């Protein structure tokens, strides 16, 4: 697994930045559409399974008081969900997110499929991942990040 260290330096920063950028842009944008409390006011009714998952994750965090919000960043419910659940939110709110954040749902989902597949190989099945996989996921992330970054600034 020493080879994992080299590939980790290639893939992890891109995955980390992408996932957190997607979280922040969705939170910010849906907050402008549905109000600052969009998570409870809108998402609970539209995607109760994701809302409940985040609530469960928060309960788990509360049992570990040494893990939590920092002085720099508040942990929001959107930080407690998976990459697949972030995709579900975009699908659910597609009339708000398309084309405002992404040009089309197919564009977003097509890139997300590759990102999720390689991310899962990286986190769960490392011996199966190659340098080429890392290059592919970085290219896919770069493509979606262009759209995300234009909305964060």
* pLDDT tens-digit series, residues 10-56: 888 888 889 988 999 999 999 999 999 999 999 999 999 999 999 99
pLDDT at 152: 66
Which one of 6-10, 38-42, 123-127 scores highest in mean pLDDT?
Answer: 38-42
Q: Is 47 helix (H, G, I), strand (E, B) or coil?
A: coil
Q: Is pLDDT above 90 for 117?
A: no
Q: For the chain, give the number of residues.
A: 153
Token code pair at residue 70 = 């920092």
pLDDT at 153: 61
pLDDT at 98: 87
Contact present, 18 and 146 (Cβ < 8 Å): no
Long-range contacts of residues 57-64, Cβ cutoff 8 Å, at least 24 apart? 57/81
User: Rounded to an integer, what distance in angstroms lies between the CA atom of residue 36 and that of residue 29?
Assistant: 10
pLDDT at 131: 85
List pLDDT tens digits, range 50-101.
999 999 999 998 888 777 667 777 789 999 999 999 999 999 999 988 888 8
Which pLDDT band holds residue 122 (cuts at 50, 70, 90)? Answer: confident
pLDDT at 120: 83
């Amino acid at each position: 697994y020493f080879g994992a260290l080299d590939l980790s330096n290639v893939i992890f920063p891109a995955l980390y930045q992408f996932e957190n950028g997607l979280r922040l842009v969705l939170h910010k944008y849906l907050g402008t559409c549905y109000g600052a409390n969009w998570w409870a006011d809108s998402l609970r009714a539209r995607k109760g399974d994701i809302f409940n998952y985040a609530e469960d994750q928060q309960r788990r965090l509360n049992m570990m008081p040494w893990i939590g919000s920092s002085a720099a960043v508040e942990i929001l419910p959107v930080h407690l969900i998976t990459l697949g659940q972030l995709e579900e939110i975009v699908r659910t709110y597609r009339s708000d997110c398309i084309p405002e954040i992404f040009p089309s749902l197919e564009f977003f989902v097509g890139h997300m499929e590759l990102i999720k597949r390689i991310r899962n190989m990286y986190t769960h099945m490392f011996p199966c991942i190659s340098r080429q996989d890392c290059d592919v996921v970085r290219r896919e992330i770069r493509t979606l990040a262009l759209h995300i970054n234009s909305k964060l600034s």
